[in-house]
Amino acid sequence: MIEKRQFYINGQWVNPVAANDLNVIDPATEEVCAVISLGDQADTDAAVAAARDAFPAWADTSLQERVALVKKLRDIYMARRDDMSEAMRMEMGAPIDLATNGQWGSGTWHLDGFLEALDSFEFEYAMGADRMRKEPIGVCAMITPWNWPMNQVFLKAIPALLVGCTMVLKPSEIAPLSSIVFAEMMHEAGFPAGVFNMVNGDGIGVGSQLSAHPDVDMVSFTGSTRAGIAISKAAADSLKRVSLELGGKGANLVFADADEKAVKRGVIHCMNNSGQSCNAPTRMIVEHSRYADAIQEAKAAAEATKVGPTTEPGRHIGPVVSELQFNKIQGLIETGIKEGATLVAGGLGRPEGMNKGYFVRPTVFADVTPDMTIYREEIFGPVLAISSFETEAQAVQMTNDTVYGLTNYIQTQDDEKRLRVARQVRSGMVETNGVGRINGSPFGGYGQSGNGREGGTWGLDEFCETKAISGVPMA
């Protein structure tokens, strides 16, 4: 068991003001794997004050200095790959191969993307006779989730560092270990005291304190829509900027002319990370003439999805993150059955042979209609809902029949139809025919999926203010 009680504030590890301990549970074993302390108002105030004091000098450093430190961080992150991967395996249940590759690799992928984006990002440029400047917004509170820990920390911390912001990170109290390792790396890299600070805490405590803090200039949050609404309300009194990356209920439109692997690919994508991704294609909407075949293909793909221990190598999925999440998913599977959806694969309970850990059976429902709960609610587990459509117009209408708008997916060999439909669906991202987004493409959504855009030049701009200066022309 790891015991970590300290916070990282003003360039050093400090003890919390009050010892309010919390056990971190390994979801694969249901055993305590670490003990952390939750911060209180005094800890939050100290971290914000450190970031505020450090901001003027950090904002005044040259871009070259900031880039050099970020590159040094990258070298340390590479060298400590095993430490970071093991932390994520324990805290959120990622199988070791996923933790070592996808989960860990997302950090360097985004870091490299931001460094590349700097080549086309203009901090100062002419607009007619005026001079436009991009300046760091100030002290940023970063509240990150448990499902892709380093993916989200790097999407927030790296662009903020590069443009000259200082920050306070509050990782999820469910999965704090990877952020503790990240703070160790920041310290080793030699960032000036106060530029980066980390305080563990829950949403009601440190999260709310940061959101309402008068000396915080911006809150960047990734998590549930419910929490995003609460943060926006808390931040409103001080009119600070709030950037939100929230939930999703992505539709995967499978047209009759989709390639033969489209359904299998969609199931695998839905089940990845045990279904715990906000951009997962959890609604598969299939053209009627292909619907019967798609159900059988989805059944086969789900039954081929292995569930296993996080310590074993392989492409299997692990547990969901917590008992609370496990119970929520079980309740929604039960609701799907009661409301009349056809259970095609999986179902209630743990996979066969497992009696410990928060493991969920890869589950597929067919004949899911828009009035059903599993069609509308974000389940955040390995559960796929399949529906059918008759016409292209109906496919678009069903896709947009949601409060969310993060990522939608389109499968068809007709390029004109693919683009036509992509232009009509209401989401911040559209992926087609299994082709993922390039590095630097903005990540973000419409509606209750949030209002932020992370990655590339958009991610750098998120942490900047724009200033217009007249009467001083560019040379």
Q: Among all chains, which residue has been given the structure tokens 């089940």?
A: 271
Which position among 33, 140, 270, 278 bears the catalytic label?
278
Give the burial class of 91: count Cβ atoms within 10 A of its Cβ; 0-12 exposed, 13-18 middle, 19 or more buried.
buried
| Res 5: pLDDT | 64
Q: How far apart are CA 258 and CA 163, in angstroms?
A: 43
Distances from the Cα of 334 to the Cα of 165, 229, 231, 262, 368, angstroms: 47, 28, 31, 28, 14
Residue numbers in the chain where pLDDT is lower than 50: none
| Res 18: pLDDT | 78
Tokens of 27: 């979801």
Cross-strand pairs, 12: 9
Q: How far apart are CA 402 and CA 225, in angstroms?
A: 13
- Pick from 400, 377, 397, 381: which is nearest to 389 by CA? 397
Provide the phi-psi class of 424: left if phi over 0, else alpha when psi is between -120 and 50, else beta.
Answer: alpha
| Res 475: pLDDT | 73
Q: How far apart are CA 294 and CA 264, in angstroms?
A: 9
| Res 17: pLDDT | 83
Beta-carbon contacts of 165 under 8 Å, excluding residues fewer than 6 positions away, are 55, 58, 59, 136, 137, 138, 139, 140, 218, 463
Instruction: Give yes or no: 173 in active site.
Output: no
Instruction: Give yes or no: 245 in active site.
Output: yes
Which position among 245, 287, 431, 454 bears the catalytic label?
245
| Res 3: pLDDT | 58
